[in-house]
Amino acid sequence: VECAKISHYAIEKHKVVITVSAVAGVTAELIEIIDLAKNQKPRLVKVRLNDLEAQHMTILKGILGSHSYVNQIWQKEILPRFDNLRTILHGASLVGDITPKTEAKICSFGEKIACIFMRYALRDLNVRAQIVKAEKIIRTDSRYLEANLYLRNSFSACKKVLKPLLGRGIIPIIPGFVAKDTHGDNTLLGRGGSDFTAAIVAMAVKAAKIEIWTDVNGIMSADPRIVPDAFSWQELDLGIMSEMAYSGVKIVHPRSIELAIQKDIPVYVFNTFNRVFRGTKVDNSKTSGVKGIVSTSGNVLFNLKNPNMLDEIGFIADVTDIVQKEQISIDVCATSETSFSFSIKDANGSEKLLKALSDTCEVTMLRNVAKVCIIGNDITHDPSLFSTIFKIFAEQNIQIYTLSVSASRNNITFMIDDNDCKQTVNALHGKLISQKGE
Ligand code: ASP
Ligand code: MG
């Protein structure tokens, strides 16, 4: 209902295309149910599907209130979809096998139902809206769960289908995340892919802007749960937003809006639950100064020493080879002549990796490590910034395990103890970021 109101407000001023994401948590739940089916748990699958169904019924009632036709709509438009889902998942849970093709079909369900909800919520506001099947306009290859977009095909299909609707004053509602391959099967654009759908459509119809309505106050200078003084940026460039995202801020996946921003379509990130917040505008400009202190905890740091490393060729290659064999990705790393440190993002597989590495060199492993990233354009070229940063670490008496300065000039990363993280991030935020947000 809230989303429909937001759309309604926009519709009064502009021509609008709405892209809908699944109800919060639904895609994740579907993925968990798929896993239960793969593990041959038909009973649990049934229970979880019933819960999901009840959750959707509650939402429909919330939208339509006490209208007598709630049941009619449920029977006609929603229940058959749940029945279909139940049949597929029950069968799959008996054999314990689901192909990616079927997984894509199952996961597309969340967005498709959310579109129906949106249509009814808009109808209540007297908005003329029509659901446009994503299969009609978003085309991809057959990598079912993270498909590659066929850009030209999708653009021309978008134009062909959407323009006549917009011309007639009808608001198209499109399920995000969902697409179709050349065989006519459902594919998905990857987790968080609804933003990508919005960006594709925006480019095709040459939109003036994209609005992404999330549940947080746009892009902030730090995580407000850690830094009470954190604030939202009114404007931020895509490069910095991307660096923040890769460092651990999960708001908008940069890949999904990159193309649109390169085409000079600005993206605004709003908060559905705080309409007073005026949004963060993400565009192609280049900001200066430190824009974010981003931290993650629970990293694991490996310190490797090899006395023979001096002038030796190939030690690091040997190490990365071992890490690769464990299917783990190295996050931050630093080297000296006889030592090599690197971190991984969580403890999964760390014990096994430690064992594998011990055969090659002296190795110690440190758990509960925080990664603190200071992010801003060209900050690595500012010597006085380094002096300020180190002063802060000295004042706070924080031990630095390792540090890394990015070649892209926009990130200085410190690895410290998890217990020191909050204090450090607050101190850095207080001294390095000036209040220019809202
Ligand atoms: N519902 C999908 C997901 O959770 C797509 C999206 O939300 O953008 O990944
Ligand atoms: Mg979503």
From the CA of 424, how far away is ligand 2's center (Å)? 32
Instruction: Say if ligand 1 is within 6 A of residue 42 CB.
Output: no
Does an H or E element contain 142, and which?
A: none
Q: Tell the residue nearest (CA) to atom 6 of ligand 1.
A: 192
Written as tens digits, the pLDDT of the chain (438 aa) is 889 988 988 888 889 999 999 999 999 999 999 999 999 999 999 999 999 999 999 999 998 886 778 999 999 999 999 999 999 999 999 999 999 999 999 999 999 999 999 999 999 899 999 999 999 999 999 999 999 999 999 999 999 999 999 999 999 999 999 999 999 999 999 999 999 999 999 999 999 999 999 989 999 999 999 999 999 999 999 999 999 999 988 889 898 999 999 999 999 999 999 999 999 999 999 999 999 999 999 999 999 998 776 677 888 898 999 999 999 999 999 988 888 999 999 999 999 999 999 988 899 999 999 999 999 999 999 999 999 999 999 999 999 999 999 999 999 999 999 999 999 999 999 999 976 544
Ligand 1, residue 197: give the atom nearest the CA: 8
* pLDDT on residue 438: 41
Pairing of strands 178-180, 186-188: antiparallel
- Residue 110 Cβ < 6 Å to ligand 1: yes
C-alpha span between 294 and 127 (Å, rounded):
41
Q: What residues contact residue 277 under an 8 Å CB cut-off, 6+ apart?
A: 217, 218, 232, 270, 271, 438
Over pLDDT 70: what percentage of the chain? 98
Segment 419-434, tens digit of pLDDT: 999 999 999 999 999 7
Q: For residue 172, give the 3-state DSSP assignment.
A: strand
Ligand 1: which of 111, 177, 196 to mutate, most ligand atoms within 8 Å of CB?
Answer: 177
Q: What is the reported pTM?
A: 0.90
Q: CA dihedral in degrees (6, 114, 215, 252; nearest 10)?
A: -100
Ligand 1 pocket check for 175: Cβ under 6 Å: no
Rg (CA), the chain: 25
For the stretch 215-247, pLDDT in tens is: 899 999 999 999 999 999 999 999 999 999 999
* For ligand 1, atom 7: residue with the closest CA: 192
| Cβ 280 vs Cβ 212: under 8 Å | no
Q: How far is the CA of 268 from the centre of ligand 1 (A)?
A: 18
One-letter amino acid for residue 125 of the chain: L
Alpha-carbon distance of 390 to 407, in angstroms, equals 20
3-class secondary structure, 266:
coil
